[in-house]
Structure 1
Amino acid sequence: MTDPITLRASAETVAASLPALLAQADQLASTVIMGEHGRRRAGMGDHFWQYRPAQTWDEARLIDWRRSGRSDTTYVQDKEWQIAQTVMMWIDRSASMSFSSADSHPTKAARAGVLMTALSLLLLRGGERVGVIGADIPARRGEAQSMRIAEWVAQADGSDYGSPDDAGILPNSRAVYMSDFMGDLAPLETALTRAADRGVSGTLFQILDPAEEDFPFDGRTVFQSMGGSLRFETQKAGDLRTRYRERLAERKDRIAALARTAGWQYGTHHTGDSAQSALLWLYTATEQTR
């Protein structure tokens, strides 16, 4: 059983970080120009989307006679698809995500938390239902849901490396997984297979520290996992650079292949790069996975 004093201290630490997290996420979300939300897909709805030439299967009542009268072509109006969608999210909260190689950029966990919260704000403001995979946060609408997500984001899970699952994902919904994907990829493969079998489309977003990509180490170096379960010491770290980069490239290729097999999208982001560009890519990818 967790010590109540320790539990309270942990809760107070999480609560203290929430205003800053939400403020940063809200500011980041405001940089993505949305306009009035529309899903840009023909279907049920009240908002006009586009004119298109009538097809043989279109009913006569759908024809826009005023627009058709201005040309030799018969046109119908398409309406925007206004049915709210469900988007389920998961971010890696393991010790591995707490790594940062320099004070000039955030930890992977901090960047992932801001991106996930900002993305949820954008989707919720667009009328979508958003929830968290593997947590007691079912998909709901309304900006109050962003507070629940932020509270979950701000808590570490204590494991060395993240282990994604598919718990709580509804059939035919959308999903977003954010992680460094540095641990065992078997759970990810299992989760993607199960999700794809249920018609779930989604996005894998890999977040890495620049040092994890470049491997700028030389001489005597001690490598240790953030959770302390792994440790490796070498006198010639520079000699490992080429082999490390090859292994990382192989891992990224495997993740990309898993995404393709499941019909998902795959993107990467370095914590030294712009959070705004990462959010824009994520938002666009999430809107396209339908």
Structure 2
Amino acid sequence: MSTDAADLRARAEAESGGLPALVLSAERLAALIAPGAHGLRRSGPGEDFWQYRPAREGDTARSIDWRRSARSDAQFVRDREAQSAEAAVIWASAGQGMGYRGAASRPTKRDRARLLALALGMVLLRGGERVGLAGQPPRAGRLQTDRLAQGLALQAEAGTDADQPPLTALRPNQRVVLISDFLGDPAWVSDYLARAAALGVSGALLQVLDPDEEVFPFDGAVLFRSVSGRVSHDTRDAAGLRAAYLERLAERRDLLTRGAQGAGWHFGTHDTATPPAAALMWLYQVLGG
């Protein structure tokens, strides 16, 4: 066995060791939401009432709604709304910057992103939808939950602090969820949203940050260094940088909000010190759940 293959196997075994805990946490989180199927706004197989229509040749006596028909001289059929398995694609950033946490008591941004991605996938799958990770074909069914969990648990860490989803994986009329800290160069977001809008792809951006990245509580002499170590800044007055940092963060969020709105998408935020349920509910609702 080659050294590369041995390293890959060792990494896979180490990563998959946390798979049961990820699945269990995601199942508990997903259980908080009761999924519903999405209607197509036309008659067809489904459970929800769509409309009454006059009976026509070929309709059986069992299909006639006799109670409605008794109120007129005509016979009416109770149509149901057609429902179809929709396709949703989920991407959770694997940038090295997602490995940050400001306190040992909090999860890393990567752990929280993976939890939300898997829980959302579970909810959508239970609603009969097709779900996949970015770059993989969306599928339906119970086995897809296992595929999502394994894909997230074995996701290779990017070689840089920030990464981006594959632009070429976008397909017409899908719904896409991108979960990241969005602290890197935002140029790719504009390109991605423009491509998505052109294909009729709707979706949501969820920015996941550690509380320290939200409030910048640092003071005194601090050496700031990215997780990859490629970027660093040494200061003797960290508190003096707070106002400028918070202004830059607000500008970044405004940029993401305007970009999302322009493409017909949604932008939301979540910090790792808060329970993930609210973020999951928001994602489900903006996707049309």
Q: What is the CA-CA distance between 1:38 and the residue it aligns to?
A: 2.7
Q: What is the CA-CA distance between 1:63 and the residue it aligns to?
A: 9.4
Fraction of identical pairs, as percent: 44
Equivalents in 1 of 2:79, 2:208: separation in Å?
Answer: 39
- Alignment match, 2:85: 84
- Alignment match, 1:192: 193
Tell me, yes or no, if structure 1 residue 141 matches structure 2 residue 107: no
Q: Is the 2:39–2:83 contact (alpha carbons within 8 Å) kept by the matching residues of 1?
A: no
Q: What is the CA-CA distance between 1:45 and the residue it aligns to?
A: 3.4
Could you say what the CA RMSD is over the residues aligned between the two structures, in angstroms? 2.4
Equivalents in 2 of 1:286, 1:12: separation in Å?
Answer: 34
Q: Is the 2:175–2:287 contact (alpha carbons within 8 Å) kept by the matching residues of 1?
A: yes
Q: Is the 2:38–2:86 contact (alpha carbons within 8 Å) kept by the matching residues of 1?
A: no
Equivalents in 2 of 1:237, 1:150: separation in Å?
Answer: 39
Secondary structure, aligned partner of 1:140: coil
Q: Is the 1:51–1:76 contact (alpha carbons within 8 Å) kept by the matching residues of 2?
A: no
Equivalents in 2 of 1:219, 1:46: separation in Å?
Answer: 65
Q: Is the 1:159–1:227 contact (alpha carbons within 8 Å) kept by the matching residues of 2?
A: yes
After TM superposition, the score normalised by the length of structure 2 is 0.88
Q: Is the 1:93–1:153 contact (alpha carbons within 8 Å) kept by the matching residues of 2?
A: no
- Alignment match, 2:59: none
Equivalents in 1 of 2:50, 2:129: separation in Å?
Answer: 26
Q: Is the 2:50–2:80 contact (alpha carbons within 8 Å) kept by the matching residues of 1?
A: no
| Counterpart code for 2:87 | T
| Counterpart code for 1:188 | V
- Alignment match, 1:205: 206
Secondary structure, aligned partner of 2:166: coil
Q: Is the 2:39–2:84 contact (alpha carbons within 8 Å) kept by the matching residues of 1?
A: no
| Counterpart code for 1:171 | P
Equivalents in 2 of 1:174, 1:236: separation in Å?
Answer: 45
| Counterpart code for 1:240 | L
- Alignment match, 2:98: 97
Equivalents in 1 of 2:14, 2:214: separation in Å?
Answer: 31
Q: What is the CA-CA distance between 1:181 and the residue it aligns to?
A: 0.3
Secondary structure, aligned partner of 1:110: helix
Q: What is the CA-CA distance between 1:230 and the residue it aligns to?
A: 0.1
Matches within 5 A, 1:120-269: 120-134=121-135, 137-154=136-153, 155=155, 156-269=157-270
Q: Is the 1:14–1:151 contact (alpha carbons within 8 Å) kept by the matching residues of 2?
A: no
Equivalents in 2 of 1:258, 1:78: separation in Å?
Answer: 40
- Alignment match, 1:270: 271
Secondary structure, aligned partner of 2:48: strand
Q: What is the CA-CA distance between 1:144 and the residue it aligns to?
A: 1.3
Q: What is the CA-CA distance between 1:234 and the residue it aligns to?
A: 0.5
Equivalents in 2 of 1:242, 1:59: separation in Å?
Answer: 67
Q: Is the 1:86–1:129 contact (alpha carbons within 8 Å) kept by the matching residues of 2?
A: yes
Q: Deviations over 1:138-182 (max 9, x none)?
A: 111112112222222122233211223323222111111000001
Q: Deviations over 1:69-122 (max 9, x none)?
A: 569xx9985633411111111110111100000122211100010110111111
- Cα 1:2–1:108 change in 2 (3 A) is farther
| Counterpart code for 2:151 | W
Larger mean CA deviation between 3-12 and 74-83 belongs to 74-83
Equivalents in 2 of 1:51, 1:7: separation in Å?
Answer: 53
State which structure, 1 or 2, has the greater radius of gyration over its C-alpha atoms.
2
- Name stretches of at least 5 consecutive residues in structure 1 with no aligned partner: none
How many residues get paired?
Answer: 278
Q: Is the 1:42–1:78 contact (alpha carbons within 8 Å) kept by the matching residues of 2?
A: no
Q: Is the 1:43–1:78 contact (alpha carbons within 8 Å) kept by the matching residues of 2?
A: no
Secondary structure, aligned partner of 1:97: helix
Q: What is the CA-CA distance between 1:51 and the residue it aligns to?
A: 6.5
